[in-house]
Amino acid sequence: MIVRLSLTALLASSASFASADIEKWLRPAEAPQPLNNKLTPERVELGKLLFFDPRLSSGGEFSCATCHDPKRGWTDLTPVSKAMGAGRGPRNTPTILNAGYQNRQFWDGRVKTLEEQALGPIEADVEMNMPLAELIPKLNEIHGYVKLFNAAYPGEGGLTQETLAKAIASFERTVVSTISPFDKYAMGDDNAIGVKAKKGFELFKDKAHCMDCHDKFNFSDGSFHNIGLSDGELRGKELGRYLTKKRAAWYGAFKTPTLRDVTKSAPYFHDGSVKTLTEATAICAGGGRYLNNVQNKSTYIVDRNLSESEIGEIVSFLKTLEGPDMKLDIPTKFPQ
Amino acid sequence: MSDFFKTLLFSLALAASASAANYVVDQKGKTFLPGDLSVSVGDTITFKNSDPFAHNAYTDNESNEFDVGMQATGRETVMTVKSAESFNIECAIHPNMLIKVMVE
């Protein structure tokens, strides 16, 4: 099923897109779900409470939403995340918008599912720093949570690491993009975006080759690339997917991020080193920050010879991918 | 080694070589074409890249371990199926690309 809302009637009248193309740009109504964790209202509501509950961190100050803030594009709008204590995390906080549609999670794609992803940041010492061996007994002392887990996951052993991961993943699966001006344009409303943005979309598809990676409704094909942000020998977290296994093709490669609501999630790239969409576009379509001495630079990243005004047109198009914030009642009271 | 055994070994090698098949898998439109394969031990698989950008093909199966690295447009790489274990081939760059290779 595809999200069409009240714009379905416009499909047939679209002058800009063939019907197959229109389908390509529309978000499927629900993210794929594992057979053992189908979405239910109880699971989503429980996951939401956990996502916003700071008691899941060691100091009781950080929740998942501290870094994945719905009011900040599900990010924290900083280059790299503030960590427990005075430190900083190693990478820019990726948005969780539409993460349920991705087949690899984290910048380096080290896990496939949201269930596998959900517990990592809770335990990470640079994030919530809460060992699960401490957290699970602690949460089991909160009767309100025990009751909710039993209702959401009957017959699954109550509040365990597995059901905790499932509940958080269920909520994350509902964090999705809304209808943007571009979607309305794709469905036939020719006035939904301006002339400059339309030119930008054409450049995005053709001359600039952005769509080679930023493809389909989520404007990401889930692929991994070294886009030349660093040169020479890479170290530590700069190695990207190569850290998960030393494949030559993964040296310095990071996942192609979604461009949905990209206006809400600056700064950009895995290191948060770029403040504006203009600069980010110029780097990607200009052959990378470093043209030379970049081992394993993606063959997509070459200088497309764009003028400043063409980059401006692409940025105008990217702005049309911003939709209204999804409806969400952020919890202020938590189970006791 | 006697001439008899040399002849026998040569004949066996020739027979195995003659019966081995080669399968061609093209990487086109971010898809492995034609799709899943059924092969036998000793067969070869030639990976082509007809896309205008680099691809990769690898398997994590230990007994058939294989990784072409960065495969540029137009380049071909051949793998030999060494073990009777079935395996998946994926593209390291485009994880949506995956085929199953059933070894019979």
A278-336 pLDDT, tens per residue?
Answer: 999 999 999 999 998 999 999 999 999 999 999 999 999 999 999 999 999 999 999 99
What pLDDT score was predicted for residue B14?
A: 46
User: What is the reported pLDDT for A21?
Assistant: 73
- What b-and-e string marks burial along A212-234, b requiring 16 or more CB atoms within 10 Å of the CB? bbbbbbbbbbbbbbbbbbbbeeb
- Given the cut 0.90, state whether the ipTM is greater than it: no
Residue A300: partners with Cβ closer than 8 Å, 6 or more residues away? A209, A212, A213, A225, B53
Mutation target vs A (from B49, B66, B68, B93; most A CBs, 10 A cutoff):
B93
Partners of A109 on chain B (C-beta within 8 Å) are 95
- A247 at B interface, C-beta within 8 A: yes
Sign of CA dihedral B57, B58, B64, B65: positive
- pLDDT > 80? residue A170: yes
pLDDT digits (tens, 9 = 90+) for A225-256: 999 999 999 988 899 999 999 999 999 999 99
* Mean of the per-residue pLDDT values of chain A: 92
Active site annotation includes A23: no
List CB contacts (< 8 A) between B67 and chain A: 247-249
Q: Which residues have CB under 8 Å from B37's CB, separation 6+? A: B23, B25, B45, B99, B100, B101, B102
Per-residue pLDDT of chain B (104 residues; tens, 9 = 90+): 556 555 544 444 444 555 899 999 999 999 999 999 999 999 999 999 999 999 999 999 989 989 998 899 999 999 999 999 999 999 999 999 999 999 98
Confidence of residue A9 (pLDDT cuts 50, 70, 90): very low
Residue A114 has pLDDT above 70, yes or no: yes
Q: Is residue A2's pLDDT more than 80?
A: no
CA angle A243, A165, A236 (to 5 degrees): 15
Contact A223 B95 (CB under 8 A): yes
| pLDDT at residue A85 greater than cutoff 70 | no
Which range, of A122-126, A148-152, A260-264, averages the lowest pLDDT? A122-126
Q: How many Cβ atoms sit within 10 Å of the Cβ of residue A167?
A: 29
Closest Cβ–Cβ partner in B69, B73, B95 for A104: B95
CATH numbers and ranges of domains, chain A: 15-26+178-319 (1.10.760.10), 35-172 (1.10.760.10)
The more confidently predicted of residues B5 and A33 is: A33
Residue of B nearest to A102 (CA): B96
Please check the confidence at residue A96 and state whether its pLDDT lies above 90: yes
Instruction: Name chain B contacts of A248, Cβ cutoff 8 Å.
Output: 67, 69-70
Q: Which element (helix H / strand E) includes A317?
A: helix A308-319
Please give, rounded to a whole number of angstroms, the shortest distance from the CA of B20 to a CA of chain A. Answer: 29
Q: Which of B53, B61, B96 to mutate to test the interface with A (most CBs of A within 10 A)?
A: B53
Q: What is the pLDDT of residue A6?
A: 42
What pTM was estimated for this model as a whole? 0.89
pLDDT at residue number A4: 46
Q: Which of A3-7, A77-81, A170-174 is predicted most confidently?
A: A170-174
- Percent of chain A predicted with pLDDT > 90: 84
Which residues are CB-neighbours of B96 under 8 A, at least 6 positions away? A103, A221, A222, A223, B30
